Every structure is written in structure tokens, then in C-alpha cells.
Homo-oligomer: A and B are copies of this chain.
């Protein structure tokens, strides 16, 4: 029987004999060299032709038959069963736009690849060592107790091996129970929130909570209130849900309450992001009353509550919430290494179960579980709070140095917010858009990078800049402020 496929050329690839023959025959069919209905050699002949075992030949035919390329008739032989469609040359098919859902279309239009906070681009001719970058929102990791932390991680990894095949893997999507207990204890002790671990869900950073909560509470067309300016991830979540954004104004006491028709409100009461303003008690009560009247929910993002350099820690809005209207968000991004992506959400009991189901839809099992367990031990052992206290002393020095320098050298041009907490200093530009543009351009050529926001007010657009200092040394802080000073030599 005359039969030839390019077996030997396939053998030169890193294929087994079986695989080489399979591909040789399959491709011959696809390329039309073996046509529909054509009879193939018996497995005995095939084995003889290609110096392979009968078993190998059988397996190749079985596979191709199972896939529908071949067809065997008992007593008659094996035939090509695949009909090539010559009318269609699929390789020339055009690229097309997928039909997307309404949600998909909204997502597709996002410009930002990530929810990273704004940073300017700077003059690339400046040597990178000379650039002072106030835009990085990073803790000072040079003081992080890596030995203690890594030992916790190693212990969790060793521990796993001895618990294989147990139900340990089937922890609820809301997170490692020990970590939820440790967070509850931390919140009771440090933030005054009376919370049951059962109402805490551990998340992979705050965005997961922000996106899921928006999806749970707001329908397309509903209104959601945010501070203006606010964290860019919040507006993305609102846009993704198809909801409409209401931007609430800030006035130096934080967000100005209004009688919004809205389903939910995002707010940063302890320290407004990014301006650093603190929401007054009266306004906190007004917001709670508003939520109660409108059957709305308030999402409190306590994003920067760990560090305070003067006075008492401000208690969260959640502590005033008797009616179950406040959802509280916290995270570890300011206190643990950047790669540890862990946050949490404290839910009103009435919403805890629904949130769990929403989270489990995407991730039925907890993520970052090595870190979740290590962190539980790190917290219950007291290592975490010791670390916070050490860092608070360190950041306090840096904060006061920076604020002093800014007030000495830049108070003519900026109005610096004095809330003595957190890992950045915020200042409003005292001039107009055109003087700000000049400043911004000069700052770039000086080689200093910072984050900026603009806010529309009845008097026109206001500009603000904020300077993250945690990751910078004292010398860098001094250089950075000098560069900013150099950028504002022109009078307002």
C-alpha cells in the first residue's frame, strides 16, 4: 500500500514516535494531503513502514479516531473521516471586535491600566539618583523586621506539608479565621470598633472590597457619592457598576453633607484622602442620619489610620454607627511590605453573608493564604503592634521635619494641611491655574516628583499637591523641599 506522511521530519522535533506520527497524519489531513474517505494502511503495515511498535500504531489510530479524524469499520479498515472545508480560508479571517456586555464595554473604556495614584512624568535628562520622588506611596521598608516576618512565612510553609490532604485548604473565602480574630482584636483595642470576627472579610487589598460593595449596592443609573478629589479606584468601581458619580465638595472640615439622592457614599473621615482633612463630629452624625433616611450605606475607608504624631487617634465613623449603615475598610499596605496584598472589610451583620457570597463567586478560597496565616501570628504575638510603634516614632520625625521645612520655605505658595498623621503632607496651591502650571513645569526640570489633584470650586479650579515622605531619608526630604522651593521663585 502506497502511504506517505512526513513522519521523519516530525521525529526531528522533540516528539516521541507516537506524537510524531500523530501530528504527521493529522497535519496531512488538515492540509488536504490525506482526503476524506481515503483508506489508511492497517496498523500492522503502518508499524512496518515506520519501524514502530504495533501498540504505538494502534494508539495513534485510536486517538485520531476518537478525535474524529479517522473512522474504522470492522473488517474493512480505517478511513479519513474529516472533510476539509475548502470554501473557507480561516487564516485570512479578519480581526473583529467582540460583543461585550454593557459592563464589559464600561470596563473596556478604562484608560488607566492600574489604579496606581497619579504621578507626573519628569525630565528624563535628570539622573535618576538626583530625582526626589514624593509620589511613591510606600512604607519605609528599611526598618521592616524582615527576619521576624520571614520566619512566620517559613513556619506557615513548613506547617502546610504536615497538614496536606486535610480540610485546611477549605477555609472560607472570607479568610483565615485566626487572622479575622486578630484583626477584630486590633480594631477593638486600637480603633475602638466593637466587632465580631464573623463580620470581617479579608480581601486582597481594598479594591476588591470597593468593587464588590459597589456592585452589591448600586444598580446601573443609581447615584453614588464620593469626595472630590477621591481615590481613583472608587470612581472606577462606580463607573464599572454603571452608577452615576456625585462629587461632594470638601471645605477644610472634610466632606460637606447634602441631602443627596444616592444609594451609597464613600468617605475618608479620619483623614480625607488626599487632603488630610478630618471630618467633624457634627458632620459624621449628619451622614449617619442621611444614610438612615435614604436607606443608603456609607463606606468608610480608614486607609491611613495607623500613624498619628500628635493627639489621640481619631475614632472611626464606624464607632458611632448604631444602625448598621457603615462598612469599614482597612488595609496593611502602609505597614507591611508592598508585596503583601491584604486588606479587610468590617460588614454590618446584615450584609456579611451577602458579601461572602459575592467574594466567593470570584474566589471560593482565600488568596495570599501564606501571608494571611503569617500575619495572624505576627499580630497575636504582639510583633505587629511593636512594629507600628517603632514606625510611628520614625515617621513622626520625618513628618515634623518635612512640615517644618515646608512651612519655612513654601508657606507663601502653599497652604499646608496640619493634620499630624499619615504618610503624606498635603498643600493647596495659593495661586491660580496659570501660576500652578509654571510651578509644575519648573518642578519637573528640578527633578522632583509629587502627586497632584485639582478640584473644581465656585471660584475656579484649585490645585493641590501631596508629598509622601515615608520612604525618603531626612537628607532626601531636605533636598526635595529645596527643589520645590527652587521651582517657585516667581511671585504668585
Report which A residues bind B (CB closer than 8 A): 14, 18-19, 22, 59-60, 62-63, 66-69, 81-82, 85, 90-91, 93, 95-104, 107-108, 110, 113-116, 138, 141-142, 144, 146, 150, 153-154, 157-158, 160-161, 164-165, 168-170, 172-173, 189, 204-205, 207-208, 211-212, 215-219, 222, 233, 236-237, 240-241, 263, 278, 280-285, 295-297, 310-312, 314-315, 322-324, 337-339, 341, 348-351, 353-354, 356-358, 360-365, 367-371, 471
Give the interface centre of A356, A363, A471 by most chain B CB atoms within 10 Å: A363
Taking CB atoms, residues of chain B closer than 8 Å to A82 are 281-282
5 contacts between A and B (CB under 8 A): A18-B312, A96-B350, A169-B337, A205-B363, A341-B367
A146 contacts B168, C-beta separation under 8 Å? no
A150 contacts B146, C-beta separation under 8 Å? no
Give the interface centre of A93, A160, A241 by most chain B CB atoms within 10 Å: A160
A354 contacts B107, C-beta separation under 8 Å? yes
B362 contacts A98, C-beta separation under 8 Å? no
State the CA gap A98–B341 with chains docked (Å).
29
Give the interface centre of A114, A115, A170, A312 by most chain B CB atoms within 10 Å: A312
Determine which of B19, B165, B216, B367 lies in contact with A103 in the assembled complex, contact meaning CB atoms within 8 Å: B216
State the CA gap A364–B361 with chains docked (Å).
18
Determine which of B62, B169, B280, B323 lies in contact with A338 in the assembled complex, contact meaning CB atoms within 8 Å: B169
Determine which of B108, B164, B322 lies in contact with A141 in the assembled complex, contact meaning CB atoms within 8 Å: B164
Would A161 and B146 be within 8 Å (CB), given that A365-B341, A370-B370 are in contact? yes
State the CA gap A46–B455 with chains docked (Å).
42
Would A362 and B364 be within 8 Å (CB), given that A101-B218, A357-B110 are in contact? no
Determine which of B102, B138, B189, B362 lies in contact with A211 in the assembled complex, contact meaning CB atoms within 8 Å: B362
Give the interface centre of A93, A285, A295, A311 by most chain B CB atoms within 10 Å: A311
Least distance between A451 CB and chain B CB atoms (Å): 15
A281 contacts B68, C-beta separation under 8 Å? yes
